[in-house]
Amino acid sequence: MLEVSNIGNLMLHNLLPSRRDFPADDPIFALNTEAQSRVAKGERIINATVGALLDDNGQIVILDTVMELWRELTPKEIAPYAPISGDPAYLTAMVQRYWPELAYFGTGCATPGGSGALALSVRNFLEPGQAILTLAPYWGPYDTIAQENGAHVETFPMPEPGHAIDALALMEKARNILERQGRLLIWLNDPCHNPTGRSTSPADRAAILEVLRELCHLGPITLLLDLAYLEYAADPAEVMAALQDYARFAVEGQVLVGASLSVSKTLTLYGARAGALVFPWTRDASLQAALAMSCRGIFSNAPRAPQSLVVRLAKDGKAQARLADEHRHWSEKLSSRAQALSGALRKEELPGVPWQGGFFVTLPAKNPTAVAGRLKDRGVFVVPIPQGLRVGLCGLSARDAPVFASAYKESL
């Protein structure tokens, strides 16, 4: 019998040298696991690392309306393969959630979550070794998704609260990438940005789009809106206004505008792994064929059950109204948590933190890893990012805000 340790050594030779030095676990999931194991030992822990919405007792929120629809699904809505590019009715329903005026999804495919959509965008719009441009700070897995698809991430800065975007910095960065690689792919996680919890102002949006207009003669530009948190906004009207700005820009036709959509947060169906990569203002047979090829070659078909559920929801006005009420309830909950956190920070004589939407806010820290480490010693878990600390409002009850704020101040 071979010893297990020997098998381990054999494996190491099989694994490509370039793939031997990754961390064993995703850093955010690893922090979450550590927090949970300390809870299990009876410690009082504040866990603001998770990316799922929790109620004030730390239990995961699962939208009732969605689960009612899930229970109604028939075997044929669950078991058969979905079409390779996804059910067109599903894609259309996903697009109409944000652009109800559109009659059809345009060009697109169903993907395993928004992550799948982001991955497919790299495969189809960049050559190996090229750069994706995005706002900094950004959702950490962007690096992994880019890397696994042969690309890397470059950034332009999110403005500080109350300041205008640095359009010149964006112009310089985007021009540089276009001159270098002859094409540009931008992932814009707006509105309801992870991890800052903010959205671009109308003026910032106009400035970003103007830069793209000015540069599009240098090569094809693809603007991919990464829309993961739109149902959880302080002001839904602001979200709709942003979506309309992007739609108006898309129909100008100078830049290819698409969206990465997901049911993870939208329907609290994180584990169902459904999303979509769509180009709602484009009907292009070669783009459609390329996306189908990617689906077939990477994961075949995306899961059928969540697609069937979205189609059912689109036909059920009552369920839509109930779901809208649930979204409103949880958006108000996130809003009150953001206010509680700001209030507690101010009591500690620190600046408050603005929140416009999504599950997170970012707090400043000069040495984020060290501050996060000291917070951990005090039983408070947050995710260090290069620009500060990502704090999951989705897991931080208003009740815990004062303890959180005082631990944060002591840890700075």
Ligand X SMILES: Cc1ncc(COP(=O)(O)O)c(C=O)c1O
Pick between residue 115 and residue 149 the one whose CB is nearest to ligand X: 115
Which stretch, 77-85, 108-116, 202-210, 313-321, contacts ligand X (CB under 6 A)?
108-116
Pick between residue 92 and residue 121 the one whose CB is nearest to ligand X: 121
* DSSP label at residue 397: -
Give CA–CA dist 29/349, Å, rounded: 32
Cite the DSSP H helix spans in 41-74. Answer: 64-72
Give CA–CA dist 371/323, Å, rounded: 39
Report the candidate in 76, 68, 71 with the shortest Cα–Cα distance to residue 304: 76
Give CA–CA dist 64/268, Å, rounded: 10
Give CA–CA dist 320/330, Å, rounded: 15
CB of 121 to ligand X, least distance (A): 11
Binding mask 342-381 for ligand X (x = CB under 6 A): ----------------------------------------
Pick between residue 26 and residue 166 the one whose CB is nearest to ligand X: 26
User: Do 153 and 131 form a contact (C-beta atoms < 8 A)?
Assistant: yes
Give CA–CA dist 25/265, Å, rounded: 22
Residue pointed to by tokens 């206004």: 241
Which stretch, 5-13, 113-121, 318-326, 347-355, contacts ligand X (CB under 6 A)?
113-121
**Complete DSSP assignment for 215-276:** HGGGS-EEEEEE-S-TTSBS-HHHHHHHHHHHHHHHHH-SSEEEEEEESTTTTS-GGG--EE
Instruction: Tell me which of 83, 106, 108, 113 binds ligand X, using CB under 6 A.
Output: 113
Give CA–CA dist 280/133, Å, rounded: 21
CB of 11 to ligand X, least distance (A): 29
Report the candidate in 219, 149, 214, 155 with the shortest Cα–Cα distance to residue 183: 219
Pick between residue 27 and residue 253 the one whose CB is nearest to ligand X: 27
Give CA–CA dist 119/115, Å, rounded: 6
Give 35's contacts (C-beta < 8 A, 6+ positions apart): 45, 47, 49, 381
At residue 232, what are phi and psi to the nearest 5 degrees? -115, 75
The reply to whether 228 sits near ligand X by the rule CB under 6 A is yes
Which stretch, 96-104, 110-118, 288-296, 333-341, contacts ligand X (CB under 6 A)?
110-118
Positions 194 through 213 that interact with ligand X (CB under 6 A): 194
Pick between residue 47 and residue 115 the one whose CB is nearest to ligand X: 115
Instruction: Tell me which of 106, 108, 114, 392 binds ligand X, using CB under 6 A.
Output: 114
CB of 144 to ligand X, least distance (A): 12
CB of 217 to ligand X, least distance (A): 30
Pick between residue 122 and residue 407 the one whose CB is nearest to ligand X: 122
CB of 306 to ligand X, least distance (A): 11
Positions 277 through 336 that interact with ligand X (CB under 6 A): none
User: How many residues at the interface with ligand X, by CB under 6 A?
Assistant: 13
Instruction: Tell me which of 226, 231, 238, 400 binds ligand X, using CB under 6 A.
Output: 226
CB of 137 to ligand X, least distance (A): 11
Residue pointed to by tokens 């993870």: 264
Pick between residue 51 and residue 108 the one whose CB is nearest to ligand X: 51
Instruction: Tell me which of 70, 139, 246, 355 binds ligand X, using CB under 6 A.
Output: 139
Pick between residue 94 and residue 340 the one whose CB is nearest to ligand X: 94
Report the candidate in 273, 28, 224 with the shortest Cα–Cα distance to residue 120: 224
CB of 162 to ligand X, least distance (A): 23
User: Do 323 and 66 form a contact (C-beta atoms < 8 A)?
Assistant: yes
Cite the DSSP H helix spans in 41-165. Answer: 64-72, 75-78, 88-98, 113-125, 141-148
Binding mask 244-283 for ligand X (x = CB under 6 A): ------------------x-x-----x----x--------
CB of 58 to ligand X, least distance (A): 19
Which stretch, 109-117, 247-255, 279-287, 380-388, contacts ligand X (CB under 6 A)?
109-117
What SS3 state is found at 257?
Answer: strand
Give CA–CA dist 167/169, Å, rounded: 5
User: Do 170 and 134 form a contact (C-beta atoms < 8 A)?
Assistant: no
Residues that bind ligand X (CB under 6 A): 51, 113-115, 139, 189, 194, 226, 228, 262, 264, 270, 275
